[in-house]
A and B are shown apart, each in its own frame.
Chain A
Amino acid sequence: MKKIKVWDPFVRVFHWAVVAGFAMNALIDDPESKLHEWIGYAILAMVGLRLIWGLIGTRHARFADFPPSVSAAVGQMTDIATGRKRAHVGHSPLGGLMIYNLILSLLAICGTGYMMTTDTFFGIAWVEEAHEILVAWAEVSVVFHIAAAIAESRRLGINLPKSMVTGYKEMPPGAEM
């Protein structure tokens, strides 16, 4: 068992803060309320910081550590299909794509949400529709993200959700990297 420091404190706080904020706004609070707006701004600010951190942050937090790549993604799907265990220290190729998807979705949700507060777009149907469809997309993505984190944890023998809490990935002895 080899412990590797993967996620820095900023990445972990960002992750769980976004989890809390998104859960509040998508499931709990009143969408018409001021609270909903403030949480939206907070999420936007956090995503903005995450984007900067993706350029200057620690090794596995940088976008350069998980560039979107079709061939790497197909490679990981091949690993899954053939039962080959190859662990990735940072984001896996498919995991990285999910991160980009979630970040872009959150930005679009914040964008359409902000538009609804402006005089120009207040009450315009397509903005509201877009906001809701984007939230639905993000919700489905989150469910898939959780399912994939559990499935990959089982496949690789690494507790991925735990690593997002402690910051360490415990690589099993036989795992290729």
Chain B
Amino acid sequence: MPTVSRKTRTISAALAALIILQGFCAAFFLSDLVRDLMEYKDPRFEVLHFALEVIANLALLAGAVVEAFFLAGLLRRQARADRALSAASGALHDLMEGYFADWGLTASEADVATFTIKGFTIAEVAAMRGSAEATVKTHLNAIYRKAGVAGRAQLVSHLIEDLMRGALPGPKDTRADVAGARAQNSGTVA
């Protein structure tokens, strides 16, 4: 299911409506022009006026076609961006899991670490996990100790550093790299 952002959706829908409106107007004028053309013998028929109408109508049609191509490009770009984003977030997730396995975090600790990296406070994590704040604090201390960091900021910067070094694969070779990362992760766990 392609998830299209709200803004792109609005722009696309508005653009499609504009294309339809212009297409209808062009078809409407075109039938008018054909009717005019059939009366070219009439002395009131003005070639210059008719030519101008033809040009205006062609410009209208060309505009609609250009918009259609623009719309297709917009939707293609958005679809690509969505794919790249999900690949990147999938890869980031794998990266995190890899670290958690390296550090030997328990399932609960890994859960708390994920929430903490996402920016939730101790109270929020406790509420989400349905545990006491003291328990979360104990988990956090264990996480920091195992990871060898002083606190949350350092924990997050571990991941950021890897991101900056380009540990995240590009969208093209994502599948192979992620599969590789997964294999490595399972290797460390085993």
Contacts and interface: CB of A to CB of B under 8 A. Distances in A.
The reply to whether chain A is a binding partner of chain B is yes
Interface of A: 70-71, 73-75, 77-82, 84, 133, 136-137, 140, 143-144
Nearest to B31: A136
Contacts of A78: 2, 4, 75-76, 78-79
Nearest to B24: A140
Given A78-B4, A78-B75, A136-B31, A71 B23 contact: no
Interface residues of B, number: 20
Given A78-B75, A81-B75, A73 B24 contact: no
Given A75-B1, A78-B4, A137 B79 contact: no
Interface string B58-84: 000000000000011101101100000
Interface in B1-60: 1-2, 4, 8-9, 12-13, 16, 23-24, 27-28, 31
B31 A81 contact: no
Contacts of B12: 74, 77
30 contacts: A70-B9, A70-B13, A71-B4, A73-B16, A74-B12, A74-B16, A74-B75, A75-B1, A75-B2, A75-B4, A77-B71, A78-B2, A78-B4, A78-B75, A78-B78, A78-B79, A79-B2, A81-B72, A81-B75, A81-B79, A82-B2, A82-B75, A133-B28, A136-B27, A136-B28, A136-B31, A137-B24, A140-B24, A140-B28, A143-B27
A84 B82 CA distance: 14
Nearest to A141: B24
B2 A140 contact: no
Nearest to A73: B13
A74 B28 contact: no
B82 to A, nearest CB: 9
B31 A77 contact: no
A153 B8 CA distance: 27
Contacts of A77: 12, 16, 71-72, 75
Nearest to B16: A77
B27 A140 contact: yes
A122 to B, nearest CB: 26
Nearest to B20: A144
A143 B23 CA distance: 12
A82 B79 contact: yes
Nearest to B74: A81
A77 B11 CA distance: 13
Nearest to B14: A70
A101 B2 CA distance: 25
A152 to B, nearest CB: 15
A37 to B, nearest CB: 24
Contacts of B9: 70-71, 74
A12 B133 CA distance: 64
B167 to A, nearest CB: 29
Given A73-B16, A74-B75, A140-B28, 13 more contacts: A71-B4, A74-B16, A77-B16, A78-B2, A79-B2, A80-B72, A81-B73, A81-B75, A82-B2, A82-B79, A136-B27, A140-B24, A143-B27
Nearest to B77: A81
Nearest to A176: B1
A78 to B, nearest CB: 4
Contacts of B27: 136, 140, 143
